[in-house]
Structures are given as C-alpha cells and as structure tokens.
Structure 1
Amino acid sequence: MKEQTKATETGWRGSLEGWLDAAYESLTESGVDTVRVMPLAKKLGLSRTSFYWFFKDREELLAALIERWRLKNTGNLIEQTECYAESIAEAMLNVFDCWLNPQLFDSQFEFAMRSWALQSAEVSEHIRVADIARREALIRMFVRFGYEFDGADVRARTIYLTQIGYISTNTREDVAERMRRIPEYVKIFTGQEPRARELNRFYFRHGYVMDEAPSLEVPTATAG
C-alpha cells in the first residue's frame, strides 16, 4: 500500500514527479554530478528527509532518470517509425517529428545522457542498447517499404548517426532554414521526394507556413 501512496503524496514531502523533474533539470543544466539530494531539496524548498519517501537513495533516483530518458527518447522514436505513412518519404517525415518536437524527443536530455555515459560504464551500456534499438527500428521502417536489408541498414545508420552528430555538437539552427531543407533531407535519406500533401501535413503539424521566416532558434535537429 505504501508504494501506491508514494506516487501521489504531496505537501511537505513534495511528489515523486517533482523530485524527478528537479533531477532532470539539474542533469540537463549542469551534469550528473549536480544531481544530489541536498541541492535538489534546496531547489524544491523541501527537507532532505522528504526525498526518502520516494526514493531509497540517490542511485534509485538516477535509475528513474535513465528510465524516463529511455521511455521518452527511445520509446517515442520507435513509435514514430511505426506510424502510418503513404510512402517512405512520409515515414521519414514522421521520424523528423522527433527532431522538431521536444515532447517526442528531448535533445537536451539526450546530450546530458551521452555526457554522463563518458564517466559511467553502466550508462554507456544503456546508450549502446538504445542506439541499437533505434537503428533497428529505422531499418524495419525501410524494409516495410520494400528496401533490401543492406540498403535499409546503411540508410538507418546515416540518418541516426547524422542526428546524433547534431546532438553531440549541440547544434542550434533557424527554424525557417531547417524547414526549407526538409525535402532535400528526405530525398537524400530515402531516395524519394516527398509529395506536396505529405510535406503539407508535416508543416501543419509543426505550425509552419512556407515563406514565413521566424527568427526563433531551436536546438539540435537533423532536418535543417
């Protein structure tokens, strides 16, 4: 019964999600070494002892962070490869949704995890497993549209390693410029040009209208 209570308790103890959100913020802003109980308690305005209502120790909190990353970034990317699409070009646009929508794929989280992996063999193994699962999902997407395995494998690696390169260098790009490049990325990655209706659906999802030139910059995206 206590496990059910832990997930919903608020007030002087805070909440499990509140502690996890604070840990996420510390990880993405300053690295894993700052994810510690006392600084988090201070950030939340809570007592140190309230942390232990939700987590046995710091290691359990770190494990919860890893699981949040796995479910969000790997889980959503795999789901996007499996979404309905008229063609491989539109399937590629579905994957590009990840790079443009932080609710689907959190590039800051990804960068922080890969930085953490440089000092943790355990996290490095989590990254390795995620990389394989994501590439395999991309391969299955291409195979679904009739590509031979070897060609699907090379295309999947090219797409994935390009995106990881963008994330690892913490690239920031202008939205309008990125959107203008979308059709060429699709053609290069798939060998097919996206149809107008496929591009229109994609642009609509992201609130973009061709010919507009917003100055907003957003982080790390392959498609641009």
Structure 2
Amino acid sequence: MNENPKGWRGSADLWLDAAYQLLVTSGVEAVKILPLAKAVRMSRPSFYWHFEDREALLDALIARWDAKNTGNLVAQTRQHAVSIAEALFNLFDCWLDEDLFDAKLDFAIRNWAQSAPNLKTKLEIADQTRVKAITDMFVRHGFNPFQSDIRASAIYYTQVGYIAMMVEEPKSKRIERMPAYIETFTGNSPTESEIARFKARHLGSSN
C-alpha cells in the first residue's frame, strides 16, 4: 500500500484505532510504532505529532478502555428502572452491545495486566468500581447492602468468566437465557412486558 498524501498526519484517533486492533488481536507486545505506521499508511514521524512516545499511546488505550467499559457500565446501572429486573436488563445491554462494553478490549486489558503491575492496580480499581455500581443499583431497589454486594459480585464475575473463557454464544440464545439469569440473581422474574422491551431493542420489534 502507498502512504497517505504527503503532509497528512492523520489524527490521534486514527493511530489509537490502529493500536486497538493490534492490542485485541495480538496483545500489547504487538503495539509498536512501526507496525502502526504501516497499518495507517503513514510515516513513523507522523506518530509523534499525536503522541509523545509509545507509552503515551498505551496510556491512551487504557483511558479509552476505562471510559468505555467502566464508564458505560456504571452509567447503565444508573438508568431509570421501575424494577430490579428492568435495571438488570439495562445492565445486560452492556453484554450485548459492543458500543457500550467491549469484551475483546476487556480481555486484552486483563491479559496485559498480568505483566504490568500499574495496570493490574487500575484493573482492580475498575472491577471494584463496577461491582459497587451494581451493588448500589440493588440497594436502590430495596435489597440490603450485604445481599446487594453478593448478588452484584455473582453477576459481575459471571460476566468476567464469559470474557476470560472467550465464550462463543449466539446472541439470540444469550438473550433467551437472560430472563432466567435475572430470576437466579434477584429471586424475581421479569414481567412479559419487560422481556419484550429488552428483546425489541436487541432483536427488533418483530421478534
């Protein structure tokens, strides 16, 4: 491939998107400036218009992960819901919509953290933040703090297990199972209308 037009240095997001692709497909060791320059079809010096060095790029990747996965998860737990079932369906949107929660990125970050103590600390804080957000959601719906923490932990670490084991499950099958998950995690069954609204936003109104 030819390089992009002379004088055009792209954008920080262009380089960051390319770095993301290398991270989720090949791991952090593959995220290097020369392969990135080839991927975006620009010269290596163009990289330095946007990032001071490779470490700055890696920091930007971590910031993107934290804002997207942790930020969106917390926001979903705070969505309006008239019942705990509806609240959990809002949370479960994260497991079905990559625009809300990127499981591939979470998996890559967890792998990276095994050899990066500072990132491991950030990951532990992110996990705690996510569990607390789910716990607070249960408390708002009338569960006592202890039960809320237990239920939140069960829900969250079930999803972490899905990510860590790279579970491949058809979207339609997972959606069909989610009402039963809600009954298991809360002791309450979602109503037919709650189930219908959830399915409509993920499968379409015809399903």
Runs of 4+ in 1 over 3 A off after TM superposition: none
Structure 2 stretches lacking a partner, 5+ long: 1-5
Output the amino acid matched with 2:51. F
For residues 11 and 99 of structure 1, do their structure 2 counterparts lie closer, same or farther at Cα, with a shift above 3 Å needed?
farther
Identity %: 49
Counterparts of 1:193-208 in structure 2, within 5 Å, are 193-208=189-204
Classify 1:188/1:202 alpha carbon distance in 2 versus 1 (closer, same or farther; 3 Å).
same
Aligned to 2:58: 62
Task: Show the counterpart of 1:34.
Answer: 30
Aligned twin of 1:45: 41
**How do 1:5-154 residues align onto structure 2 when only pairs under 5 Å count?**
12-154=8-150
Q: How many angstroms apart in 2 are the aligned matches of 1:189 and 1:152?
A: 10
- The C-alpha deviation readout for 1:183-221, integer Å capped at 9, x for no partner, is 1001011111001111111111112468x6xxxxxxxxx
The answer to whether the aligner puts 1:168 opposite 2:157 as a matched pair is no
Distance 2:163 2:9 in 1: 36
**Offset at residue 123 of structure 1 (A):** 1.0
What's the TM-score, normalizing by structure 2? Answer: 0.95
1:178 aligns with 2:183: no
CA–CA distance in structure 1, aligned partners of residues 79 and 115 of structure 2: 36
2:154 maps to what in 1? 158
RMSD: 1.4
Question: Which consecutive unaligned segments of at least 5 residues does structure 1 have?
Answer: 1-9, 213-224
Opposite residue 31 of structure 1, the aligned amino acid is G
For 1:190 and 1:43, how far apart are their aligned partners in 2?
47
- Aligned equivalent of 1:219: none
| 8 Å contact from structure 2 (residues 96, 171) kept in 1 | no
- Provide the rounded CA distance (Å) in 1 between the counterparts of 2:18 and 2:160: 25
SS at structure 2 position matched to 1:104? coil
CA distance in 1 between counterparts of 2:140 and 2:107 reads 30
Asked if 1 retains the 8 angstrom alpha-carbon contact of 2:113 and 2:119, the reply is yes
Residues paired across the two proteins, number: 202
